[in-house]
Structure 1
């Protein structure tokens, strides 16, 4: 699948779409097809500086604002 993968803090122009493995579905979870996404303020904060915090496990795919199918 295609996703923006955040590996470190960066500028907006450094974001890129990568090909990643489709996640495995766990018991009680569902897999949804995402049609599109946007970067909202929380994800801008993550990209700008929060990704450097100890509690963030990198790499991370930011998906707070996604359109499901």
Structure 2
């Protein structure tokens, strides 16, 4: 369903902090946490807690990165 006509302006979405500064800060914190978690996982032999944290952080980081493309 098409609303309006060709001459109508494009609607501008309302500002939302979760898509702005909070999202950017969370992404940077996730990236900062990725480095020590990766190093700690490599240093410790097999720790299921660290492996789980690394898996979650990598999936979140990849998802947010691909979402930016």
TM-score (normalised: structure 1): 0.27
More helix by share: 2
| Structure number with bigger Rg | 2
More strand by share: 1
